[in-house]
Copies of this chain bind each other. A is one copy, B any other.
């Protein structure tokens, strides 16, 4: 996507003023409660008229104050999943799902509703009225409805907040898949660092209605390592599982890792907290950890009282953290080689 926008919008007690350009396919918007995230989403979708500025998406101008141009929402082809589901009360679940879909010319329809329903686990709800759906059920229907309308840009405003963890991580890979397959760019609003890291490539940080930072979700996660109870979470996408010694060996870049986790159909995405990684200056003669990786220090960064260390393990990145004395002791500085030990049970499957 190539989205460039410069927008001003003033409310009684709040003023949004942003000016940026996005090139990535997946962008996140992060910020505290009341920082203007939802306002930005409404402006982009054409549901709120800015006080001034311009929005350009690819070669289309969605809004331009100077030229008095403001495309109506239905011509923007910008889909929105709202914080609350806003289902149409007079339509069944099926009617809601197909509302946008039916409005796409037949030849342009690319997504199979039945497929989507299966993934969102809402197939059994189809004939029901939307009145007495539970909170999670509602939000899944809203999600499906928007994706089926096949937007050129998808805006999501905390769409997964009401879902339980399991469902959330079930939906993410599918969402990823749909977005990739149909090439739909995503602008994703959330408080959740994990959702951000799994879905977007770049994060814009809003505060008080202004863009205060733009960075990668990884960098954001590093910055927030000190705030987060679990520290930094490494995401490892592993491939080619092979059974070995009652465990499983997966390929990770140019090396292999031993895990106690069985492979699943599809992707194998695991998490590894920074604290699960032990570093050694020299090869430890014997260690119970099943994985001992040779790696190079790429970067050392400050983390309040602690220090973060970015390692290069055969081309893949791994982030760990330690106390300053250990840094000196192990002589950790960029370019130095080290050994990283990881227990086979340290990995957690995300999906």
A contact face: mostly helix, strand, loop, or mixed: loop
Q: Mark out the residues of chain A between 164 and 187 whose CB falls within 8 Å of any chain B CB in the assembled complex.
A: 164-167
User: Which residue of B has the minimal Cβ distance to A167?
Assistant: B33
- For A128, what are the chain B residues with a Cβ–Cβ distance below 8 Å? 12-13
Contact with B along A239-281 (1 / 0, CB 8 A): 0000000000000000000001100000000010101100000
Stretch of A132-140, A145-153, A212-220 on the interface side: A132-140
A165 x B137 contact (CB < 8 A): no
B229 touches A32 (CB 8 A): no
Chain A 116-139 near chain B by CB (<8 Å), digits 1 or 0: 000000000000100010111100
Contact A288–B135 (Cβ < 8 Å): no
- With CB as the reference atom, state the residue of chain B lying closest to A39: B134
Q: Is A47 engaged at the interface, CB distance under 8 Å to the other chain?
A: no
- In the complex, chain A residues 188-246 whose Cβ is within 8 Å of any chain B Cβ: 191, 194, 227-231, 233
Whether A323 pairs with B345 at a CB distance below 8 angstroms is yes
> Which B residues are in CB contact (< 8 Å) with A276?
275
Q: Mask for A22-57, Cβ within 8 A of B = 1, else 0?
A: 000000000011100010000000000000000000
Min distance, Cβ A144 to any Cβ of chain B, angstroms: 15
CB of A110 within 8 Å of the partner chain: no
Question: Cα distance A166–B230 when bound, in Å?
Answer: 14
**Residue contact B345 to A305, C-beta cutoff 8 Å:** yes
Q: A135-B158, A230-B230 are in contact. Are A321 and B305 (CB under 8 A)?
A: no
The contact string, 1 if C-beta is below 8 Å from chain B, for chain A 69-90, is 0000000000000011000000
Which residues of B lie under 8 Å from residue A261 when comparing CB positions? 305
Contact in complex: A134, B275 (CB < 8 Å) = no
A134 contacts B34, CB within 8 Å? yes
Interface size class, chain A: 35 or more
Q: In the bound complex, do residue B165 and residue A162 qualify as a contact, i.e. CB atoms below 8 Å apart?
A: no
In angstroms, Cα B348 to Cα A231, docked, is 8
Closest to A132 in B: B11
Query: Is residue A294 within 8 Å, beta carbon to beta carbon, of the partner chain?
Result: no
Q: Is the CB of A33 within 8 A of B134?
A: yes
- Bound-state Cα–Cα, A135 to B276, Å: 36
Chain B residue numbers with a CB within 8 Å of A231 are 348
CA A306 – CA B261 in complex, angstroms? 10
Kindly provide the distance from the CB of A92 to the nearest chain B CB, expressed in whole angstroms. 13
Given contacts A38-B134, A305-B260, contact A32 B348 (CB under 8 A): no
A13 to B33, CA, bound (A): 37
Closest residue of B by beta carbon distance from A224: B165
The 6 closest A-B pairs by CB, nearest first: A33-B136, A164-B191, A229-B348, A260-B305, A229-B271, A34-B134
A-B contact pairs, 27 of them (CB 8 A): A12-B128, A13-B128, A33-B134, A33-B135, A33-B136, A33-B167, A34-B134, A34-B137, A38-B135, A163-B191, A165-B227, A165-B228, A166-B227, A229-B233, A229-B271, A229-B349, A230-B230, A260-B305, A260-B323, A261-B305, A275-B343, A288-B326, A305-B345, A306-B345, A321-B345, A322-B345, A323-B345
